[in-house]
């Protein structure tokens, strides 16, 4: 049982837009930055978004992040088949004194 | 270009120990802390804790105390994860990942992962 809650799967057609939600609580998302990771099949996770909405160098602006209250959202526009992956949200939990992750969302580009 | 290169897959019997290495390059080793993240087969990411590359002080997440030890050899820019008294449920991919001191709890760079399989 993950501390952060994500939908197990989402799907959309190529070229479309998709959002992935991440729900937490006042001790984690409510007071700390959220990050998002992309894990392509058979590879290590890669940082996509940090500090709620910032993109590391090299991450295209098709990827965006936002946070409101105790929830965060990852948005992906102009979907490509290469975006098929598992996506994880993560943050610090001040009560647990630990980094916590969501259970992951599998994105299928139909 | 920051790179983290981990040691190869391991097959161990229950009760044995394993030591996974994570060699950093492309940056000053003490610039980033090293975290360890576990991913059981078909499961999500689980943070195990981190080690301060300046002081060598480790911090372990709940559930990763006792049998898990983080260590460093700064002379070769390498972090280590040792797991003792291995159990079948320790079978997983183990990743090292860096975070920048003073930044949020996000992991900028990841190793390729080390698969540890525990089986008799």
State which residue of chain A sits closest to B95, comparing Cα positions: A44
| pLDDT for A1 | 84
For residue A32, list chain B residues with Cβ-Cβ distance below 8 A: 104-105
Contacts of B114 in chain A (CB under 8 A): none
Question: What local confidence, expressed as pLDDT, does residue A38 receive?
Answer: 98
What is the rounded average pLDDT for all residues in chain A?
Answer: 97
How do the pLDDT tens digits run along chain B, 120 residues long?
A: 899 999 999 999 999 999 999 999 998 899 999 999 999 999 999 999 999 999 999 999 999 999 999 999 999 999 999 999 999 999 999 999 999 998 878 999 999 999 999 999
The pLDDT value given to residue A67 = 98
Q: In chain A, what percentage of residues exceed pLDDT 70?
A: 100
Count of CB atoms situated within 10 Å of the CB of A11: 13
8 A C-beta contact, residue A52 and residue A64:
no
A22 pLDDT higher than 80? yes
Distance, in Å, from the CA atom of B48 to the CA atom of B91, rounded to the nearest integer, reads 14
- The DSSP element (H or E) to which A68 belongs, if any, is strand A63-68
Q: Which of B58, B62, B65, B104 would you mutate first to test chain A, the one with the most A CBs within 10 A?
A: B104
């Amino acid at each position: 049982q993950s501390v952060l809650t994500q939908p197990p799967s989402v799907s959309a057609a190529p070229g479309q837009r998709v959002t992935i939600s991440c729900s937490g609580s006042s001790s984690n998302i409510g007071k700390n930055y959220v990050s998002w990771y992309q894990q392509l099949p058979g590879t290590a996770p890669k940082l996509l978004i940090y500090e709620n909405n910032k993109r590391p160098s090299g991450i295209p602006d098709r990827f965006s992040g936002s946070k409101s209250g105790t929830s965060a959202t990852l948005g992906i526009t102009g979907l490509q088949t290469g975006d098929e992956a598992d996506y994880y949200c993560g943050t610090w939990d001040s009560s647990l004194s630990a980094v916590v992750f969501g259970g992951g969302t599998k994105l299928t580009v139909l | 270009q920051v790179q983290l290169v981990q040691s190869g897959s391991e097959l161990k019997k229950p009760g044995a120990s394993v030591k996974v290495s994570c060699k950093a390059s492309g940056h000053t080793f003490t610039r980033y802390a090293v975290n360890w993240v576990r991913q059981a087969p078909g499961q999500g990411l689980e943070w195990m804790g981190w080690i301060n590359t300046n002081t060598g002080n480790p911090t372990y997440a709940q559930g990763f105390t006792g049998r898990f030890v983080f260590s460093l050899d700064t002379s070769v820019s390498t972090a280590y994860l040792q797991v003792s008294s291995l159990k079948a449920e320790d079978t997983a991919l183990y990743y090292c990942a860096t975070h920048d001191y003073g930044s949020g709890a996000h992991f900028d760079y990841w190793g390729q992962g080390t698969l540890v399989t525990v089986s008799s």
